[in-house]
Amino acid sequence: MINNNQNDKQFASLLSTIESGKTSPDERFLVQLRELSAHEFEARSAKSEAISFWRKIMKSKIIKFAATAVIIVAVIIGINYFHGSGSSVVLAEVLQPILHARTVTMDILVGSEGRQSVIHDEVMGSRIRRTVSNLPDVDIIIDLKEMKVLSLVHAEKTAAYVKLEGLGDMQNYLEWLQKIVVKMKDIKAYQIHDQSLQQIDGYEYHVFVAENNKETITIWVDPETTLPVRIAQKTPNMQLVCNNLQFDVDLDESRFSLEIPEDYKVQEAGKVDFKNVVESDFIETLRIWAEFIEDGHFPDSINLENVVKLGPKIDQGFKRANLSEEQETETAMRWAQGLVFIRFFKGQGQWHYAGKGVEFGDGATPIFWYQPKDSETWRVIYGDLSVTDVAPEDLPE
Amino acid sequence: MDKDAEREIAIGLQKGDRQAWLRLYEAYARRVWTNVARLMGYACPAVADVVQETFLAAARSARNFDPGRGMLWLWLWGIARRQIALHYRKQDANVILAQAKTWWHSLDGQTIDWIDEKAAPPPDVLEASELATLVRSALNQLPADYQTVLMAKYIDGQPTREIAQNVQCSSDAVTSRLVRAKKAFRKAFKTLTQSAPAGKEVSL
């Protein structure tokens, strides 16, 4: 039998077996790593300047609206890339008039039927006039050539410009539709099915379905005008519907003016560089999502539908956390900023989200992984929001 | 590191202040190295790689460090533990661990008593590299705070008061954490050595 002291000594002997062959840390290596890690830390910090931009501008309510508008512009436009097409001559003929259209108006619905936010767009050339159902009293005019956004808050008679950078050549919806028509003529990536006539609200429409293994696009065409009235795009991550499509509507050019009305107070909001939205921005988005919106858990999904419907929930979370108005705005913007990382995902292949039900702080469970561009390894984000590089064969299942 | 210094560093990290990062590095780099070397073996050539990956991963996420969610050390050590686990996922560590288990089963004597501290193992057993392998594997299965207090107390020989200061809690809390940590270690060791030699545990 041995006493407590001996117990401790014996336990120490057992544990100290791992000290065999003990050597001192490699000091030269540690000095080099000191500089390397400091450089990495600074590089990440510099890339977070976009966030500090938001922090600075959030002091004004009008800038808050302008900033929100910019994020909406980026998030909505960014999803409408159409890769590939089909081979239906009939469909192409039906869509032909779109090629010559000058204007288009539509309602964009994001999310499941009956629970959507509605974005109303009027498009003329490179300019879009946009209103969003959950931003009342705000008109947003976007110029995709000049990459400039004007936000008008009519209730307060205030206005703000935001310059967009790093978005590359963006298409408006008219161009997007026209490209679909052109591509559908000769590429066989999509299978086109003519579903014949279908009734909606008492009217009959031709329905065409274009699908491949990643997405399904359904187009409803008015048999009289041979123009589409509704287009739905469905992918595993989102569902988006362009409804009430009307072409060559007579729109007043002044509605697209970037001039500010005379009696409106102006504020210059600076610029937003979307090129510099990086992984750490997205991590911040996940943190805010778990902390304020989902009450300590990561969301079931990070798809667009979930993003758009979260307005009221984020407000409740902020109230629970007792944030000031300024903090609320800043946090909301940081949340939105990181979403751009996903919308403009530049990595190879797909990103994967597996955070459903995972508790914030769970360092053992991977919640998101993606392969950065030109990288052989993947980046894996865990429930405690730490990140590691992982070889493809070691990815979570 | 005391609470005030830790708070200063945390604020600096959130602001992207290089000096804050360097303070963190100076405070913990050697400790991370030593603990990684203990858990992987001082002779393991991958120690430097794991230490490097730990600090680069930490540098990338340091701005998001929230002091309300725990100490800097436990955050940093959590990253290091994951890097160690990742390293072993890539290696065929089963072979070494299986050999160590086979060696353990072949021993004459009351091996369970050695782990339960009812009897002292003979010196030749304590010097065997296989025992070190098993101890490392059992330690690797413990939570970060258990690993921290066990290594501080039984390898570094730190008094309880000093450990309490480092982990920012009372001496009583450290004492009770040590009891729980020892118990968890014994359980992990027994589970490990009772499983078949070709088991799938890979942490060494």
Clarify whether residues B145 and B86 are in a common domain: no
**CA dihedral of residues A263, A269, A270, A273 (deg, nearest 10):** -130
pLDDT (0 to 100) of residue A64: 47
| B55 contacts on A by Cβ (under 8 Å) | 33, 36-37
pLDDT interval class at A75 (50, 70, 90): very low
What is the mean predicted confidence (pLDDT) over A126-141? 78
CB contact under 8 A, B61 and A23: no
In angstroms, rounded to a whole number, what is the distance separating the alpha carbons of residues A257 and B189?
A: 74
Q: In percent, how much of chain B has pLDDT > 70?
A: 92
What is the mean predicted confidence (pLDDT) over A239-259? 86
pLDDT (0 to 100) of residue A290: 87
Clarify whether residues B79 and B121 are in a common domain: no
The C-alpha of A38 sits at a distance from chain B's nearest C-alpha, in angstroms, of 6
Residue of B nearest to A40 (CA): B59
Asked if B127 has any chain A CB less than 8 Å from its own CB, the reply is: yes
- Measured CA distances, B35 to A277, B167, B175, B179 (Å): 35, 16, 21, 21
Residue of B nearest to A364 (CA): B82
Clarify whether residues B103 and B40 are in a common domain: no
Last residue of a domain, one of B63, B91, B119: B91
| A34 contacts on B by Cβ (under 8 Å) | 22, 25-26, 29
pLDDT (0 to 100) of residue A394: 81
The pLDDT of residue A225 is above 80: no
Left if phi > 0, otherwise alpha if psi is -120 to 50, otherwise beta: which for B146?
alpha
Mean pLDDT of chain A: 71
The pLDDT of residue B153 is above 80: yes
CB contact under 8 A, B135 and A15: yes
What is the mean predicted confidence (pLDDT) over A163-181? 64
CB contact under 8 A, A12 and B154: yes
Domain spans of chain A, in order of start: 53-269, 277-394
Q: Which of B61, B139, B148 to mutate to test the interface with A (most CBs of A within 10 A)?
A: B61
Asked if B196 has any chain A CB less than 8 Å from its own CB, the reply is: no
pLDDT interval class at A171 (50, 70, 90): low
pLDDT interval class at A339 (50, 70, 90): confident
Full strand arrangement of the beta sheet holding A227-235? A191-200, A203-211, A216-222, A227-235, A238-247, A103-110, A117-124, A127-132, A138-143, A148-153, A158-165, A265-273
Burial environment of residue A361 by CB neighbours within 10 A (0 to 12, 13 to 18, 19 or more): middle
CATH number at B172 reads: 1.10.10.10
pLDDT (0 to 100) of residue A344: 64
The pLDDT of residue A52 is above 50: no
Q: Report residue A382: phi and psi, to 5°.
A: -100, 175
pLDDT (0 to 100) of residue B90: 62
pLDDT (0 to 100) of residue A99: 66
pLDDT (0 to 100) of residue A95: 58
Q: Is B158:B118 a contact under the CB 8 Å cutoff?
A: no
Clarify whether residues B187 and B99 are in a common domain: yes
Q: Which of A217-226, A276-285, B41-50, B97-106 has the lowest mean pLDDT?
A: A217-226
Structure-model confidence comparison of residues A269 and A380, the more confident one: A380
- Report chain B's C-alpha Rg in angstroms: 18
Total domains, chain B:
2
Residue of A nearest to B128 (CA): A17
* The token pair that represents A330 in the structure block: 């800043």
The pLDDT of residue B188 is above 70: yes
Mean pLDDT of chain B: 85
The C-alpha of B169 sits at a distance from chain A's nearest C-alpha, in angstroms, of 21
Last residue of a domain, one of B91, B111, B143: B91
Clarify whether residues B190 and B175 are in a common domain: yes
Clarify whether residues B106 and B180 are in a common domain: yes
Residue of B nearest to A29 (CA): B48
Give the residue numbers spanning the domain of B178.
92-204
Last residue of a domain, one of B58, B91, B124: B91
- Report chain A's C-alpha Rg in angstroms: 26
Beta-carbon-side half-sphere exposure of residue A49 (alpha carbons within 13 Å): 10
pLDDT (0 to 100) of residue A272: 59
Asked if B67 has any chain A CB less than 8 Å from its own CB, the reply is: no
The C-alpha of B4 sits at a distance from chain A's nearest C-alpha, in angstroms, of 22
- pLDDT tens profile B111-138: 777 777 777 788 888 888 889 999 999 9
Question: What residues contact residue B84 under an 8 Å CB cut-off, 6+ apart?
Answer: B36, B39, B40, B50, B140, B203
The C-alpha of A384 sits at a distance from chain B's nearest C-alpha, in angstroms, of 9
CATH number at B24 reads: 1.10.1740.10
The pLDDT of residue A113 is above 70: no
Q: Which of A28, A36, A41, A341 to mutate to test the interface with B (most CBs of B within 10 A)?
A: A41
Burial environment of residue B39 by CB neighbours within 10 A (0 to 12, 13 to 18, 19 or more): buried
Residues A116, A117, A118: CA angle, nearest 5 degrees: 110
Mutual angle of helices B47-61 and A27-47, in 10-degree steps: 20
In angstroms, rounded to a whole number, what is the distance separating the alpha carbons of residues A123 and A132?
A: 15
The pLDDT of residue A177 is above 60: yes
Clarify whether residues B40 and B121 are in a common domain: no
- Assess: ipTM above 0.90: no
Clarify whether residues B82 and B99 are in a common domain: no
What is the mean predicted confidence (pLDDT) over B44-66? 87
pLDDT interval class at A112 (50, 70, 90): low
Q: Which of A120-124, A206-210, A386-390, B138-142 has the lowest mean pLDDT?
A: A206-210
Residue count of chain B, please give it. Answer: 204
Clarify whether residues B178 and B98 are in a common domain: yes
Widest CA span in chain B: 59
Range picked from A41-45, A96-100, A224-228, A392-396 for highest mean pLDDT: A392-396
In the three-class reduction of DSSP (H, G, I as helix; E, B as strand; rest coil), residue A206 is classed as strand
In angstroms, rounded to a whole number, what is the distance separating the alpha carbons of residues A184 and A95?
A: 10
| B16 contacts on A by Cβ (under 8 Å) | 41-42, 44-46, 48
The pLDDT of residue B26 is above 90: yes
| B119 contacts on A by Cβ (under 8 Å) | 2
What is the mean predicted confidence (pLDDT) over B71-92? 83
In angstroms, rounded to a whole number, what is the distance separating the alpha carbons of residues B76 and A235?
A: 39
The pLDDT of residue A117 is above 80: no
Pick from B33, B86, B135: CB nearest A25: B33
The C-alpha of B135 sits at a distance from chain A's nearest C-alpha, in angstroms, of 7
- pLDDT tens profile A366-381: 999 988 877 788 889 9
**Looking at domain A53-269, which of 3.20.20.10, 2.40.37.20, 2.30.40.10, 2.50.20.10 is its CATH number?**
2.50.20.10
